[in-house]
């Protein structure tokens, strides 16, 4: 059985490779990370008392008068978590809930009130509070929080004041926010006050200290989100997923994202702020960083000059990355590579559902919307193709419908899913992911039934492979060899499938019997 240390290493190593590149770029473009105020936060939470579940988290919420929720502004999951917590807390017959927000200046309360009374629409609210100019993060998840609060809460209040850019004044902003919270308590004496504020403000000596001094009677719960040091520590727990941990009596931390996803979101915002609105963020460095992280994880030399245990000059096989290109551009690209109309429509649906896709026949990465879970899978798919010499681009891909094609697809899905788990361990289990992501249209034809089966079987196999890796039954060398196997050789794909299945047999969940029988019948 894997030890706590080995589990932590295996779950974290690939992410840490990817993070190194992201953090270097962030440090270059944002030197504020070295400020003492921000260091106070990063150094404050290094360990936790126990693992807790959602039920225990909700119980802690019910016992609090003020709930301080840490917000990583660039991460939509942070705002969506706050919305879900507000909705769960605002139960009929229970205490009313009031939402306080750093995002909106107190000076703009009258504008927020007009929107609350439905006198102005969302677009006018966004424009008049200067959301894009003064805040600059994603509007959609923040507006979802506002809409949830208008439906379930008693009121919404802006808590912040100028200047946001000057960290020398950040303590004054904490004091201002607590003063506004005292006003909220006077106006809503029976309410639970839920506050969404930037995570660095929630270090014990920052906003919580001022709050305790000015409102000593309030029972305060601090809810942190995705604290790096706690996330890496929790990676050593035997649980498949740790939802939350108790840091102390009045502090908990929830995990709804990974550090890699968090910092990639911020890096993309830095890129977007440096470009025009029409250009949008440059996603190519993100995709290349994911690929490079998998290479380092698998110990593959992208500069190797010979084939064999390493692919020859893999650095020259890196895909072209299309960012925010239109569907028409995707159709044009596929048409140039003689894709059938059926395949083209399948790719369009894939993009709509997942936001990105690797196109092996063009050796291109097409990204319309960055979603970490799916981008990591597509990066692993690319690496599998590149390690085999890009057979689809060379016209050596297996014909659909053949037995070997089924096994090639299954292994591709398995390695894609495995790659996504090592870079994004928070991905749902294969059973759930496979069934949710398969569109109903996948059952319309016999060919699509086969493709759906290979995806489901591949996800099951990839999940079992990941479990076996965590438990130390699969080595890094074996994983590298699986990526390098040339599956176009007759019978090789089926042989490889059976080798993986035998290696992981008895690990985790069983593969679906009906799909396994179909595989063996091929």
194 and 166 part of one domain: yes
Contacts of 377 (CB under 8 A, 6+ apart): 416, 417, 419, 420
Distances (CA, A) of 323 to 204, 269, 281, 316, 338: 41, 15, 8, 20, 22
pLDDT by 10s per residue, the chain, length 522: 567 777 778 888 888 888 787 777 766 666 565 678 888 888 899 999 999 999 999 999 999 999 999 999 999 999 999 999 999 999 888 999 999 999 998 988 999 999 999 999 999 999 988 898 889 899 999 999 999 999 999 999 999 988 877 677 788 889 989 999 999 999 999 999 999 999 999 999 999 999 999 999 999 999 999 999 999 999 888 887 899 999 999 999 999 998 888 888 888 887 777 665 555 677 888 898 899 899 999 998 887 776 667 777 787 788 888 886 677 777 877 777 777 787 788 888 888 889 899 988 888 888 888 888 999 999 999 999 998 888 876 666 655 656 678 889 999 999 999 999 999 988 877 544 444 343 434 334 445 567 778 888 999 999 999 999 998 888 989 999 999 988 888 888 889 999 888 888 754 444 444 444 444 454
For residue 163, whether the previous peptide bond is cis, meaning omega lies within 30 degrees of 0, is: yes
What residue has token string 């084939």?
307
Do 252 and 57 form a contact (C-beta atoms < 8 A)?
yes
Cβ neighbour number for residue 199 with a 10 Å cutoff: 21
107 and 202 part of one domain: yes
Side by side, which strands form the sheet with 364-367? 320-323, 364-367, 356-359
Dihedral class, residue 506 (left if φ above 0, else alpha if ψ from -120 to 50, else beta) = left
DSSP letters along 329-386, please? Answer: HHHHHHHHTT--HHHHHHHHHHHHHHSEEEETTTTEEEESS--HHHHHHHHHHHHHHH
288 and 304 part of one domain: yes
* 3-class DSSP state of 67: strand
245 and 383 part of one domain: no
Strands 244-248 and 50-52, by their bridges, are antiparallel
56 and 178 part of one domain: yes
239 and 286 part of one domain: no
Structure tokens at 234: 């929790």
Within a domain: 13: no
Phi, psi of 240 (to 5 degrees): -60, -40
Phi, psi of 103 (to 5 degrees): -60, -30
Within a domain: 470: yes
Cβ neighbour number for residue 303 with a 10 Å cutoff: 10
Which pTM was predicted?
A: 0.75
DSSP 8-state code for residue 133: I
Number of folded domains in the chain?
Answer: 2
Q: Which domain holds residue 218?
A: 30-261
Within a domain: 2: no
pLDDT confidence of residue 220: 96
């Amino acid at each position: 059985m894997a030890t706590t240390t080995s589990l932590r290493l295996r779950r974290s190593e690939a992410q840490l490779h990817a993070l190194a590149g992201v953090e270097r770029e962030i440090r270059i473009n944002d030197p504020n990370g070295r400020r003492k105020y921000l260091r106070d936060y990063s150094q404050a939470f290094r360990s936790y008392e126990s693992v807790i579940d959602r039920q225990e988290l909700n119980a802690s919420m019910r016992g609090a008068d003020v709930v301080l929720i840490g917000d990583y502004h660039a991460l939509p999951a942070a705002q969506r978590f706050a919305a879900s917590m507000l909705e769960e807390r605002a139960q009929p017959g229970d205490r009313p809930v009031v939402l306080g927000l750093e995002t909106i200046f107190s000076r703009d309360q009258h504008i927020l009130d007009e929107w609350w009374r439905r006198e102005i629409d969302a677009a006018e609210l966004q424009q008049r509070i200067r959301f894009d100019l003064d805040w600059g993060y994603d509007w959609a998840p923040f507006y979802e929080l506002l809409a949830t609060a208008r439906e379930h809460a008693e009121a919404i209040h802006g808590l912040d004041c100028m200047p946001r850019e000057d960290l020398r004044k950040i303590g004054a902003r904490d004091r201002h926010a607590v003063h506004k919270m005292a006003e909220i308590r006077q106006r809503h004496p029976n309410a639970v006050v839920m506050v969404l504020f930037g995570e660095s403000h929630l270090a014990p000596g920052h906003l919580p200290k001022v709050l305790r001094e000015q409102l000593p009677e309030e029972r305060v719960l601090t809810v942190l989100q995705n604290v790096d040091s706690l996330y890496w520590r929790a990676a050593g727990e035997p649980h498949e997923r740790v939802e939350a941990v108790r840091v102390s009596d009045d502090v908990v931390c929830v995990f709804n994202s990974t550090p890699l996803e968090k910092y990639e979101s911020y890096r993309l915002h830095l890129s977007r702020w440096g470009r025009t609105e029409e250009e949008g963020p440059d996603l190519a460095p993100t995709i290349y960083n994911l690929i490079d992280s998998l290479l380092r994880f698998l110990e593959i030399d992208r500069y190797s000059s010979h084939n064999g245990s390493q692919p020859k000059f893999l650095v020259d096989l890196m895909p072209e990355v299309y960012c925010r290109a239109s569907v028409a551009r995707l159709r044009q690209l596929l048409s140039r590579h003689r894709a059938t109309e059926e395949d083209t429509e399948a790719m369009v649906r894939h993009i709509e559902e997942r936001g990105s896709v690797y196109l092996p026949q063009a050796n291109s990465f097409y990204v319309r919307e960055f979603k970490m879970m799916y981008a990591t899978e597509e990066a692993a798919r690319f690496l599998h193709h590149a390690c085999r010499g890009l057979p689809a681009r060379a016209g050596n891909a297996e014909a659909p419908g053949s037995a070997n094609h089924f096994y090639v697809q299954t292994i591709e899905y398995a390695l894609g899913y495995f790659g996504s788990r090592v870079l994004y361990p928070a991905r749902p289990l294969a059973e759930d992911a496979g069934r949710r992501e398969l569109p109903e249209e996948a059952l319309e034809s016999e060919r699509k039934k086969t493709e759906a089966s290979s995806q489901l079987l591949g996800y099951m196999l990839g999940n079992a492979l990941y479990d076996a890796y965590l438990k130390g039954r699969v080595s890094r060398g074996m994983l590298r060899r699986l990526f390098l196997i040339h599956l176009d050789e007759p019978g090789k794909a089926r042989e490889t499938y059976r080798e993986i299945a035998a290696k992981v047999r008895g690990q985790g969940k069983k593969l679906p019997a009906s799909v396994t029988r179909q595989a063996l019948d091929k």
